[in-house]
Structure 1
Amino acid sequence: MLSVPELQHLNVSLQKQLSIPIEEKNGDRMYSKCRIYNLNYSAISVDEMLATNYTNITTKTCDKWEYDRSVMKTTVMSEYDLVCEGSWLSSLAGTALMIGLFFGAISSGFLSDKFGRKVTTLAIGVLHIVSAFSAAFAPNYIVFLTLRTIAGMTAIGVYTPYWLLLIEACPPTHRGYMTILTDALLRVGTGSLALVAWLLRDHWLLQIIGAIGMVPGLILFVIFVPESPRWLISVGRVADAEAISRKIAKWNREEIPASFSLKQVEEKDDASSEKKGTFFDLFRTPNLRKYTLVVCSYWFACVFGNYAMDLNVGTLIPGSIFLNYLLMSTMVPLVSCISLFIGIQKIPRVVSLPGFLGVGGVMCIAMAPILLTNIPQLVTTVACIGRMLLANAFSLIYLYSGEIFPTPLRNVGLGAGSSFGRIGGLITPQIYLLASVWFGLPYVVLGGIPLGAALLSLMLPETRGIRLPENLSDGELFGTSAYEDITSNDRSGEKDNGTALVDSDGERAFINNAFHMDTNAKSTKPELVKPDKAMTLNDVTSL
């Protein structure tokens, strides 16, 4: 509604009658939100206005608006007047974030390989805090979009190297648990965001608190989290890797033998390593090409489905935006950790991958006919089920992407999938616009894309409990009977000669005069045995 100073002394009903034209939309007559009568209100009296025939009066575009502030005191839309002819600009805030996520996913993997997991996480984390904080003081929408893009780039830029460090620092038996724990902590954070938003009702204060809230976590990260020993060994910093291993052992109140050395790991890697994989290696051979394309489509569907529900929670799901966001982004995913645990630890990947994504897509499609029942609680319940399954699929594809690709391509494959997924995120802010064609179209698209990707994922091989591929040849054979024969022979040979151990994910490392963990022991602490036994690198990083 336009505020006309000359009419302020009149009641609201009369102000509207004298200043705002009536428009008809979908059979309903209502006051225009974008146009005003083209009159010089300071030159005519109220009596003259009341006597005027407004049928032939021209209208003009509003240049100032009054906003309903019952839900939020300030928003990006009200701050920059992103309404009427400029309403399409409001969705660009979400698009800018997704563009940042896309480029951040591409660059963060390269940076973490070159400079290390910890250094990259710290540097990008600081940049994220600065950009997110500065966005609260952006003088115009262009500056805000620029800072929003940087914030998106650095948000995923922090997460990717952290995730790689997590995978590399945990033994295979604990990776599933850490995946669930990380996901749960993320959900607690988003839930806190919904609570703070409900209390403040101010977008800019929320932006500031969100940026500052990352500072304590980054400080704790610097103090307590070491660099990845795997990365240190890969760049030849064996002494640093040994020092970190000793610190980990000391933290766990264990003593490492004086003869402990990681030198042989480096020598073995130098002797058997092949050239580092590139993005193009993902498409050179038939099987790897197929796996890459299917994994990318799965990423696309996961990002699209999850972000579409989060970013459009106020338009696609009836009810309180704060409560619905809390349910969609926090409570439901937290409850889903139970089903995610079962999916990761107990169910084959070839079942859980299509199951989570496919059934989640069906639930999203089902929201369209259920809306006709005019029972908001039922719509919200179905939406919660769909969101839970889509969240599980998102967490699972992170883990699966680290399992399906061979070691030289693991980081590249994860980055490629994540980057392709962000393309799906680019279109999520606009999905609600499809309702102008048919009210159910957003829900059909929201569920149809995940359902299609779930069907494609049936072509992917099982990875749970399978030795991970170590080179490009392994990657091409992975999922075939030939790969099963190779891994079976490798396990037999290693058992006979006693020179190496293969962990449950199949990543081998050779350590001279070291020690190993008793993986059958009930205790969670490593058990020192004879120093002439070999041990896996996973055991070193889990001390």
Structure 2
Amino acid sequence: MVPECESTPPKFETNGWGLWALPEDGGRCSRLTPLGDSCVPESFHLNQTQSCSSWVYETDNSIISEFGLACQEWKRTLVGTVHSAGMFFALALTAYVSDAFGRRSAFILTAVSAGVVGVCRAFSNSYTLYVVLEFVEATVGSGVYSTGFILALEMVGLEQRVLGGNIISCTFAIGQVMVALVAWAVPYWRTLTLIIYAPSILFVLYCFALQESVRWLLSKGRKKEAAAIIFKAASINKKKLSPATIKQLTEETDDSSKSVQETVTPVASEVPKKQSLFIQVIRSKTLVSRLCICSFWWITLTFIYYGLSINSVSLAGNSYVNYILTSLVEIPGYAISVVTLDRFGRKSSIITAFFICGIALIALPFVPYIVSLSALVDCNLSTGIQWLQITLNMIGKLSISMAFSSIYIYTSELMPTEVRHSLLGACSMFGRIGSLLAPQTPLLMEYWESLPYLIFGIMAVTSGLLMLLTPETLRVRLPDTVQQAENINIAPRTKHKTDIIVD
């Protein structure tokens, strides 16, 4: 703010006096040193500046204006960093709750907790409290998506896995569009926060409507509860269960022979206790290597996905419209994966998506050089190639969105039910490294404007090559134990219609 020239009340536009009262860069954190009390060119030093003590904001809708963050860039970026840090802890915490106490409990707990903390954040009276609640909200609520995804995936049969997974991914994109529309209509941050988070509290009603994952119940030996859910669903949908499913749900383990044997077996020959799941996973070279590969995939996906959004400067104009467009472009990627994953297999589809993304983004940095050469020959050709740069960016976003939704399904199919959420959460937790690094990629443009895109492309191609080291899971039943997960390569495959239990 320049008190010598400001109107009452102060306006964001300088109406000309900014030419002599503000530095050449337009002034934001500093102003030219005043030499008098009037607003004339002679009353300001030509090149000597001083730091501003107060500011005029274009709008009063954000935390930047309310908490006075005009020239404190680190405080503004810290909000996103704190949120990513909260997500890092959330994935491990939610995975433990999900695998130990059930998918249903974890889903309802994370959804309601996010709503409660989000509503509290809307009433923050200081920047410190806002950041603390941002971290808490991310920690207790960020696992809701992965929990819901796994719960849905375990509720459907083999033939519906891909469709179900991509429907969830499409709703994620639609949710982003809805957030942009609401923010466009209600820009004030407190009201916007209340509108977004308050409905989440209603998820407490899911206690009366949502059923537990049958697969999780069976993995915990709670067969009676699983049977009740399946028989109820079959009755409502007027479906007939296969004999194999009925046998699995109603067959009781015969302990009589075991009891007799225990009475005549010496104590010294007792069977050793079963190893814990954690020890089984750690000792399994197959699962450990698979976990490392999956983690690199997730780092790549989050790094490119968020990096493209941050570095997408090709689309000029209304910021709300741009955000909506970059969200909508994901839906065709999800639709393509519905067709390809079941027809060509998981590996072929995801490898192709990674390679197309990699080629498009590696080619993008060289487009300006082609433009500069073509401009010497044909101006119309130069304009056409500039559109090519936008097209390559969109192809990259579409392809990485397809790979993202497919990796969710593929990673879930590679892991055993007993620790599926824990291992998926570990991969996603490592993926947060990519989301933490993505906001820093614009700094690379100081060295070479297209360097971020080149890095994105190389990582995408590398991830595609790593796909060659993992097994195909097309038409293979979800593994329930560590041993079944290790033997996916030799597991039987089927083209017959299957149900949720015997798939």
TM range (shorter): 0.7 to 0.9
Query: Structure 1 residues 455, 237: CA separation in 2 closer, same or farther (over 3 Å shift)?
Result: closer
Partner in structure 1 of residue 432 of structure 2: 422
The partner residue of 2:62 within 66, 72, 75 is 75
Contact 1:121 1:162 in 2 (8 A): yes
Q: In the alignment, which residue of structure 2 is the partner of 1:323?
A: 321
User: Mind listing any 5+ residue stretches in structure 1 that lack a counterpart?
Assistant: 23-29, 489-502, 506-517, 521-525, 527-535
Deviations 1:98-144 (A, max 9, x none): 11221111111110122221122112211100122222222222222
Aligned-partner residue type, residue 170 of structure 1: V
Alpha-carbon shift at residue 317 of structure 1 (Å):
4.5
Which residues in structure 2 correspond to 1:119-158 (within 5 Å)? Answer: 119-158=105-144
Corresponding residue for 1:295?
A: 294
Report the counterpart of residue 115 of structure 1 in structure 2: 101
In terms of mean alpha carbon deviation, does 341-350 or 374-383 score higher?
374-383
Report the Cα offset of residue 222 of structure 1: 3.7
User: In 1, are the aligned partners of 2:300 and 2:431 still within 8 Å (CA)?
Assistant: yes
Q: Which residue is equivalent to 2:265?
A: none
1:64 aligns with 2:51: no
Q: 1:56 to 1:410 in 2, by over 3 A?
A: closer
2:31 is paired with a residue of what secondary structure?
strand
Q: Taking structure 1 as reference, are residues 466 and 264 closer, same or farther at Cα in structure 2, changes over 3 Å only?
A: same
Q: How far off is 1:248 after superposition? A: 1.2
**Aligned mates of 1:470, 1:253 — CA distance in 2:** 28
Return the offset for 1:422.
Answer: 1.3
Letter of the structure 1 residue corresponding to residue 339 of structure 2: I
TM-score, reference length from structure 2: 0.82
Q: Distance in 2 between matches of 1:102 and 1:163?
A: 18
The answer to whether residue 459 in structure 2 is matched with residue 449 in structure 1 is: yes
Q: Is 1:210 aligned with 2:196?
A: yes
CA distance in 1, matches of 2:431, 2:91: 10
Alignment match, 1:16: 18
Do the aligned partners of residues 275 and 5 (structure 1) sit closer, same or farther apart at CA in structure 2, a change above 3 Å counting?
farther
2:23 matched to 1:36? no
Matched, 1:399 2:409: yes
- 1:160 aligns to what SS in structure 2? helix
Q: Does 1:360 align with 2:357?
A: yes
1:412 corresponds to: 422
Query: In the alignment, what sits opposite 1:523?
Result: none
Deviations 1:496-533 (A, max 9, x none): xxxxxxx849xxxxxxxxxxxx938xxxxx8xxxxxxx
Query: Does the CA-based 8 Å contact 1:7-1:15 persist in structure 2?
Result: no
Of 29, 34, 38, which residue of structure 2 is paired with 1:46?
38
Distance in 1 of aligned mates of 2:349 and 2:484: 24
Secondary structure of residue in 2 paired with 1:196: helix
Taking a change above 3 Å as real, the CA distance of residues 245 and 465 of structure 1, as seen in their structure-2 partners, is closer
The reply on whether 1:178 has 2:164 as its aligned counterpart is yes
Q: Give distance in 1, aligned partners of 2:351 and 2:53.
A: 51
Describe the shift of the 1:443–1:64 C-alpha distance in structure 2 as closer, same or farther (beyond 3 A): farther
Deviation for aligned residue 1:67: 2.8
Partner of 1:337: 334
Shift in Å at residue 379 of structure 1? Answer: 4.0
Q: Cα distance, 1:446 vs. partner?
A: 3.2
Structure 1 residues 45 and 334: CA distance shift in structure 2, 3 A: closer
User: For residue 234 of structure 1, what is the amino acid of its counterpart?
Assistant: S
Deviation at 1:353, TM superposition (A): 2.0
1:228 pairs with 208, 213, 231, which one? Answer: 213
Note the 1:259-270 alignment, pairs <5 A. 262=249, 264=251
- The answer for the alignment partner of 2:264 in structure 1 is none
Give the RMSD, CA atoms, in angstroms.
3.4
- What are the Cα deviations for residues 7-37 of structure 1, in whole angstroms up to 9, with x where unaligned? 4379934542453233xxxxxxx33221123
Compute the displacement of 1:6 (Å).
5.8
Alpha-carbon spacing, 1:168–1:17, altered in 2? closer, same or farther (3 Å): closer
Q: How many residue pairs align between the two structures?
A: 469
Q: Which deviates more, 313-322 or 439-448?
A: 313-322
Consecutive unaligned residues in structure 2, runs of 5 or more: 259-270, 372-381
1:304 counterpart residue number: 303
What is the match of residue 25 of structure 1? Answer: none
- Alpha-carbon distance between aligned partners in 1 of 2:366 and 2:67, rounded to the nearest angstrom: 36
What amino acid is aligned across from residue 186 of structure 2 in structure 1? L
**What's the offset of the Cα at 1:243?**
2.4
CA distance in 1, matches of 2:78, 2:367: 30
3-state SS in 1 of match to 2:143: helix
| Structure-2 separation of matches of 1:255 and 1:472 | 31
Secondary structure of 1:208 counterpart = helix
Inter-partner Cα distance in structure 2 for 1:321 and 1:221: 36
TM superposition shift of 1:478: 4.3
1:101–1:152 Cα contact (<8 Å) kept: yes
Q: Is contact 1:333-1:391 (8 Å) kept?
A: yes
- Of 455, 462, 482, 1:472 maps to 482
Q: 1:434 to 1:89 in 2, by over 3 A?
A: farther
Aligned AA for 1:248? A
Contact 1:138 1:144 in 2 (8 A): yes
Superposed CA offset, 1:59-96 (max 9, x none): 32212222334xxx523333334343x21332222222
1:537 paired to 2:501 = yes
1:60 match: secondary structure: strand
User: CA 1:276 to 1:122, structure 2 compared with 1: closer, same or farther past 3 Å?
Assistant: same
- Contact 1:302–1:357 at 8 Å: present in 2 too? no
Change in CA separation of 1:99 and 1:123 when aligned onto 2, cut-off 3 Å: same
Deviation of 1:204 (Å): 3.2
1:179 to 1:274, Cα distance in 2 relative to 1, 3 A: farther
Counterpart pick for 2:231 among 246, 253, 264: 246
| Cα deviation 1:254-286 (Å, max 9, x = unaligned) | 5889x9883536779xx99954422x6545344
Deviation readout 1:463-514 (Å, 9 max, x if unpaired): 21235555434444543xxxx3xx46xxxxxxxxxxxxxx849xxxxxxxxx
1:433 equivalent in structure 2: 443
Give, in angstroms, the shift of residue 316 of structure 1: 6.6
Q: Which amino acid aligns with 2:120?
A: S
**Is contact 1:95–1:427 with CA below 8 Å preserved after alignment?**
no
Corresponding residue of 1:197: 183
Q: Which amino acid aligns with 2:324?
A: L
Q: Which is bigger in relative contact order (C-alpha 8 A, separation at least 6)? A: 2
User: How far apart are the structure 1 equivalents of 2:362 and 2:193?
Assistant: 33
The alpha-carbon distance between structure 1 residues 249 and 7, as it changes in their structure 2 partners (threshold 3 A), is: closer
